[in-house]
């Protein structure tokens, strides 16, 4: 993965989203393959590699310049996944239990309608996304809270 040391958060976020999507799809595949007694070593090796890449990219995002509202949205998305684990909590308890963050997410969704909150797409149901006024449209697999706790 090569990028300029001064890449914006938005640019780095796109790379992060791809890695996170691959990691979560792989985690689902490992979970399914575990029931069949398949050889999980190659998948677990790739999972470890992905986690190292993600961790490195999150460190770059943490220190990247934030210049636009898109950068702020991207920074929030990564924080929801890596610092707060809030997307899972919103999925478990619902957006109504988080009125301030829901207000913030609604504002950002209106200001940057093309931006996809990767952490929320993975966790929230279509109904919860609608409550946040983020129309569901991607086919990204969603995880339940019980699946998330089994990954840690």
The answer to whether 57 and 13 have CB atoms below 8 angstroms apart is no
* pLDDT interval class at 20 (50, 70, 90): very high
Cα(150)–Cα(27) distance, rounded to whole angstroms?
10
pTM passes above 0.95: no
Percent of the chain's residues with pLDDT above 70: 84
pLDDT at 1: 41
The answer to whether 109 and 133 have CB atoms below 8 angstroms apart is yes
Cα(143)–Cα(148) distance, rounded to whole angstroms?
7
């Amino acid at each position: 993965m090569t990028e300029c040391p001064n890449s914006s958060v938005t640019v780095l976020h796109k790379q992060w989203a791809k890695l996170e999507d691959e990691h979560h799809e792989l985690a689902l595949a490992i979970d399914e393959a575990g029931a069949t007694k398949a050889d999980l070593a190659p998948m677990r090796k790739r999972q470890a590699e992905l986690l190292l890449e993600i961790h490195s990219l999150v460190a770059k995002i943490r220190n990247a310049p934030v210049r636009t509202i898109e950068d702020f949205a991207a920074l929030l998305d990564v924080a929801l996944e890596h610092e707060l684990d809030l997307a899972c909590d919103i999925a478990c308890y619902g957006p109504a239990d988080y009125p301030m963050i829901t207000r913030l997410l609604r504002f950002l969704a209106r200001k940057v309608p093309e931006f996809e909150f990767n952490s929320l797409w993975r966790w929230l149901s279509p109904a919860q996304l609608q409550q946040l006024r983020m129309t569901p449209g991607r086919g990204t697999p969603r995880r339940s809270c019980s699946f998330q706790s089994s990954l840690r």
